[in-house]
Structure 1
Amino acid sequence: MNDCQAISIVRERFPDIDEEIFQYIEGVLSSTDDFESSDDIYEAIGGILEDILENCVMISFGKFTITNGVSESNENKILDAPVQLSAKAAEMENKDEVIKSVWMVEREDVSKVDQKKLEKAEAKLRGKAEKRESDKKGTPPPIVMNMATASQVVSKKDRTLDSKGGANTKDIRIENFDVAFGERVLIQNATITLAFGRRYALVGRNGLGKTTLLRMISSKNLRIPSHISILHVEQEVTGDEVIALDSVLEPDLLLLDEPTNMLDMKAIIWLENYLMGWPTTLLVVSHDRNFLDIVPTDILHLHTQTIDSYKGNYENFLTTRGERLKNQHREYESQMQPVLKPVEKETTVTFRLPETEKLSPPILQLDEVDFAYSTDRLVFKKVDISASMESRICIVGENGAGKTTLLKILLGELEPTKGHRFCHRSLRIAYFTQHHVDQLDMRLSPVSLLQSKFPGKNVEEYRRQLGAFGVSGDLALQQLASLSGGQKSRVAFSIMCMGNPNFFILDEPTNHLDIETIEALGVAINNFKGGVVLVSHDERLIRMVCTELWIVEDL
């Protein structure tokens, strides 16, 4: 019996029950999930019901049953078949058993209860509710898993053609489709065409729905002809997966999501050459500017809930789009009647790193440093390096060569096996790594996360800090679980800068960031008055900011 049924039966069986008593009982029965056990429920209403009915009490709701003050759990009991309650009651009557259910025994029309007992019970209930609320305050809300959905207008002709296998072309046309994530519409009334054998790059700002669109295509939530085979590789391609691409039967459509993340320079060059010879259709999401200038034959630009198509690589896209926007603006300015809408401009992305004061050198240095994880595994030998407040150092090398190990020695997280590490006493190092992004509490909003790590400030200060990294408006109040990878990275940057560091060590900071945000990061690094040590595979960012190159190689 559910809560609503119990309340309605109380009203039906005892129409003359005192209204104040009924409201109290109704309040308890309608909020049974707030009670930890049936004993708590009985304590709240059992005594009052006993006063009214002078005898026994049996109430069953949800997962608890209370019978004459004895509580029983209803959990994990599964009925073999539906139970007809009227038949059960008749069966009990035939056996001349005493029926002790509140719902089966007639009582006086007017019920009475001790007013003091009612007040005492209400006070107890309020106390328990306040305690529960107090206990809950420190517990973050559960992660709300929003679902991605797609809808599409498909003609009867296309459905018939597809069902009969008549549409055997390898070209793909996805018409008149919408994509949403939870209640948020990402793409509306869009159409894209993927010609067989061409290589398409899907580009756009973080959080607009690029990864979601790939998933909708791979799951065939959008209409893809049934004879089209699809291979979808999500996020970064590891070494094993790169080999796997060559070993599987070639799909008609290959979907890649940020394939260059976590790859070193050598692997990226190999992947670029490999994809240049890809024989079927390729649709790739990437924010690697150099990769986008080499691999794609076409660009699909996702913006303002629509997708525009451009021929050529990313450089051609920028030129063509710039001309297109100028023409649209001229048409808008020259119109006699306000028919055309003004050209929508994407907001400029900004990164604001904290202001800092200069420190006198030496700042951070390693003298004659050796490091080994074990006696037979020497990683570094006689390393002499130093960094200043003007440093813009980029560390490059193959994966596994020891780049991250070197960063941890600079940070002081690993002790040199031999030699010395010197660090200025006023140096405040901020360390960014993808691992830190993955360790964020996904149940919290960006504002709540900053509040938990840096308590005591007003909400506007947290919002200003997040806004300095492009996390503003409703985005700052959404659960982190609902944000894109790039948006989570921006939140991690805002946390990192909240401690007002004067030196940055950044390990692959561009993973998941869109092109505009990478550009903004480069500008912010160049304007920063402190030192920067950077591990990155993003060639454009390296050329933009680095003045010194450290190459890590195997011994």
Structure 2
Amino acid sequence: MSNIAFKIRQAAPGIDQVVADYASGYYNHLLNATYDAVQSKQLVLSEEVSFLQELLENAGGKDDKVEEVCKEMLERLSLQLEENQAKLEVTGDTSRRLLDVNILQNHNSKANINTSLAMLGVNGDIEHTGRNMDTRVDLKKLEKAEKKIAKKVAKRNNKFVKYEASRLINQSKEDDYDSFFLEINPLEFGSAAGKSKDIKIDTFDLYVGDGQRILSDAQLTLSFGHRYGLVGQNGIGKSTLLRALSHRELNVPKHISILHVEQELRGDETKALQSVLDADVWRKQLMTEETKINERLQEIEKLRTEFDEDSLEIKKLDNEREDLEQHLEQISEKLVDMESDKAEARAASILYGLGFSAEAQQQPTNSFSGGWRMRLSLARALFCQPDLLLLDEPSNMLDVPSIAYLSEYLKSYPSTLLVVSHDRSFLNEVATDIIYQHNERLDYYRGQDFDTFYATKEERRKNAQKEYENQLAYRKHLQEFIDKYRYNAAKSQEAQSRIKKLEKLPVLEPPEEQKSITFHFPECEKLSPPIIQLQDVSFGFSADNLLLKDVNLDVQMDSRVALVGANGCGKTTLLKVLMEQLRPLAGHVSRNPRLRVAYFTQHHVDSMDLTTSAVDWMSTTFPGKTDEEYRRHLGAFGITGSLGLQKMLLLSGGQKSRVAFAALCLNNPHILILDEPSNHLDTSGLDALMDALKKFTGGVLMVSHDISVIDGVCNEIWVSENGTVRRFDGTIHDYKKYIISSAGKAGVVKKH
């Protein structure tokens, strides 16, 4: 080991060997700097050594010792560079190297750049300080080393930062699901019996890569078998916490398997049913290994016939067979434990419950739209049944029947569930506990569904406000006495006593401010019926291929109608017929000639120019008013103050939705037709929307998957199924029971 390599180990005795070899190898690489680098003056030694100093300090080296060894490196490198530059000027060296052969031989040790980087398996480019240097670093080993460094630093400081890989690591490469699954959830044959699957992470900080703190001195406690609803305002960091757990950036025990449903499945030619089966990488790997072992056992039987029974070759083959049979038995036990023989039936049942017919299950995944691929991702996770299942807004891409199935399925989920959702009804049915994320902390409401949590939280807030006001009054009383009698000889002793009392009082922090959001839909004049009426309406691409048949419905000024049904059953088609964007093949659509309709779709947000402010976008898209009028109108939907003047790309998803609602109402509509209005809105936004819709003087027709919104606003349910639309006799809760009952008869809602 070279002198520098030895000093690096002294300065940072606790770091991984791969990092130490990398640092010493990099130093020797600088000694062997190329002629071109010097001639173009691209070699800035101070920056190179600073890079090594930062690497060693982050890896756990002692700051003063690391600084000392790096200072020595810089002196040696500077001296060597000066000598070689002088030599170049005198001799006109054309060897393309700045070091002579003797110096190269002096550094031909195990820790030199060729050997140390060979240990890393060198094969790419290291990029930093804006200069490329030819290397052959094994990217997987470097990424693994960097993660180890990040975790050690985080553990030492009790802080966890969302990991950002080195620029050396190719971020554009395709994600390998199988490799990632096995990295997060390694397959072990040892028994996990007796190991607790509770998760308890004491006092930690969580940051995202840009240094923004999400949680401070937080504690995460998840009891096995409980179902937690993680709630909080948009942008508070709930999804970041889920991603940190799913990548084990927080200290989750290795024997606890984790799966996170975050992104839609990347489509290919794999059939939907097979893609769900393939999601269980453990089962897939075990079955592949089982096949290979059986093939090898057959080969061994054939080979045994070619040798004498007492030969050495027979003994070797018998030993190999014994080992293989023993491992095969372990694999079989593992497959039996996971009920591998029932896997296909279970996968088909989950897919059917999420809306995939038997025919659809045999279609390739690339034939499905984004929403259906998201359902496939959800089906894959449910099929795997991890110890910790993480779901991020699972209901956003589902229709009411699929949400009914999912909530029923999750109610009997045997392991731990952590779900981010703003759907109150879904959380009321699924969650056994609520975790409230706010003010960089996590508050636990154990044994409570969402409604109970909401009431308890409000009671806590009122009590905190009352306590705060009482403390303020007490402090004010003490201060008034002190100010009045501090210089009074007779009362000075009492004043001093109160000064000490005041100093001993804890730091007074005001309770968290309750942000209230309001929506206000404008008043509209009354119209005489019919407002919108459908009589025996049929629609399709041809008379032989009807999507809707014999529909008879009407919308009045006081209507509060919810249109429900499975995705693809004609709900959006019906809305377009009502809007006269599509003409029916048969029947008649009657509309009041003075009728004004506002039609909200999820795509309204996508169509906005996010590079401009809300006021500028509205004045361009809906001209005719002053900026002050636009700002006042936006204020009726919670876009107040500077929010209306900043670029909309800086607004949250809920704020963009509010801008879209404000824009729709500029023409004072008589009827609001809303397609999934609750997406992107958090709890306070949903409360504001429901309150405004109930107060609206016109009619409302909405397509929504949010049971709470439907229940809070609508008094009439229309169901789209079997090629027609009919009025449902009952509430939205009755419809859910009808859906679950139908699924039960089909055998798709089963206990685990």
Provide the TM-score with structure 1 as the length reference. Answer: 0.66
Are 1:286 and 2:421 an aligned pair? yes
Q: Distance in 2 between matches of 1:180 and 1:471?
A: 27
Q: Output aligned runs, 1:142-161, within 5 Å.
A: 154-155=155-156
| 1:379 and 1:554 in contact (8 A); partners too | no
Aligned residue among 390, 404, 410 for 1:255: 390
Are 1:418 and 2:586 an aligned pair? yes
Are 1:465 and 2:608 an aligned pair? no
Are 1:537 and 2:693 an aligned pair? no
Q: Distance in 1 between matches of 2:702 and 2:240?
A: 30
Q: Output aligned runs, 1:228-243, within 5 Å.
A: 228-234=256-262, 238-243=374-379
Q: Distance in 1 between matches of 2:650 and 2:243?
A: 16
Q: Output aligned runs, 1:400-549, within 5 Å.
A: 400-455=568-623, 457-549=625-717
Q: Distance in 2 between matches of 1:273 and 1:348?
A: 33
Aligned amino acid, residue 212 of structure 1: T
| Aligned-residue offset at 1:444 | 3.4
| Aligned-residue offset at 1:482 | 4.3
> Which residue matches 2:493?
none
Are 1:305 and 2:443 an aligned pair? no
Aligned amino acid, residue 218 of structure 1: S
Q: Gaps spanning 5+ residues in structure 2: where?
A: 1-33, 42-84, 93-149, 161-187, 264-370, 476-504, 724-752
> Which residue matches 2:400?
265
| 1:233 and 1:256 in contact (8 A); partners too | yes
| 1:179 and 1:213 in contact (8 A); partners too | no
Aligned residue among 313, 320, 324 for 2:460: 324
> Which residue matches 1:171?
198
Q: Distance in 2 between matches of 1:291 and 1:271?
A: 9
Aligned amino acid, residue 300 of structure 1: I
Change (3 A) 1:451 1:190: farther
The superposition leaves residues 131-181 of structure 1 with CA deviations (integer Å, 9 ceiling, x where unpaired) of xxxxxxxxxxxxxxxxxxx9996348999xxxxx99975333343213458
Q: Output aligned runs, 1:28-427, within 5 Å.
A: 82=37, 84=39, 154-155=155-156, 169-174=196-201, 175-179=203-207, 186-234=214-262, 238-248=374-384, 250-311=385-446, 312-335=448-471, 336-337=474-475, 339-427=507-595
Q: Gaps spanning 5+ residues in structure 1: where?
A: 1-78, 95-149, 160-164
Aligned amino acid, residue 453 of structure 2: F
Change (3 A) 1:181 1:451: farther
My pick for the range that moved more, 331-340 or 516-525, is: 331-340
Q: Distance in 2 between matches of 1:233 and 1:539?
A: 22
Change (3 A) 1:533 1:156: closer
> Which residue matches 2:118?
none
| 1:289 and 1:540 in contact (8 A); partners too | yes
Aligned amino acid, residue 401 of structure 2: K
The superposition leaves residues 5-45 of structure 1 with CA deviations (integer Å, 9 ceiling, x where unpaired) of xxxxxxxxxxxxxxxxxxxxxxxxxxxxxxxxxxxxxxxxx
What's the RMSD between the two structures over aligned residues? 3.5
| Aligned-residue offset at 1:420 | 2.0
Aligned residue among 707, 713, 721 for 1:553: 721
| 2:560 and 2:713 in contact (8 A); partners too | yes
| 1:153 and 1:176 in contact (8 A); partners too | no
Aligned amino acid, residue 228 of structure 2: Y
Q: Distance in 1 between matches of 2:691 and 2:379?
A: 37
Change (3 A) 1:457 1:518: same
> Which residue matches 1:44?
none
Aligned amino acid, residue 260 of structure 2: H
How many residue pairs are counted as aligned between the two chains? 412
Change (3 A) 1:454 1:409: same
Task: Compare the two structures and name the one with the higher helix fraction.
Answer: 2
Q: Distance in 2 between matches of 1:462 and 1:187?
A: 37
Provide the TM-score with structure 2 as the length reference. Answer: 0.50
Q: Distance in 2 between matches of 1:495 and 1:186?
A: 33
Change (3 A) 1:399 1:204: same
| 2:205 and 2:213 in contact (8 A); partners too | no
Change (3 A) 1:157 1:528: closer
Change (3 A) 1:215 1:471: farther
Q: Flag as ranges the 4+ runs of structure 1 deviating above 6 A.
A: 156-159, 165-168
Q: Distance in 1 between matches of 2:242 and 2:650?
A: 17
Secondary structure class of the residue paired with 2:437: strand
| Aligned-residue offset at 1:349 | 1.9
Q: Distance in 2 between matches of 1:460 and 1:357?
A: 25
Aligned amino acid, residue 595 of structure 2: L
Secondary structure class of the residue paired with 2:377: helix
Change (3 A) 1:377 1:229: same
Aligned amino acid, residue 254 of structure 1: L
Aligned amino acid, residue 267 of structure 1: S
Q: Distance in 2 between matches of 1:394 and 1:413?
A: 20
Aligned amino acid, residue 390 of structure 1: D
Secondary structure class of the residue paired with 1:211: helix
| Aligned-residue offset at 1:83 | 7.5
Task: Compare the two structures and name the one with the higher strand fraction.
Answer: 1
Q: Distance in 1 between matches of 2:660 and 2:220?
A: 34
Change (3 A) 1:263 1:366: same
Q: Distance in 1 between matches of 2:566 and 2:36?
A: 65
Secondary structure class of the residue paired with 2:259: strand
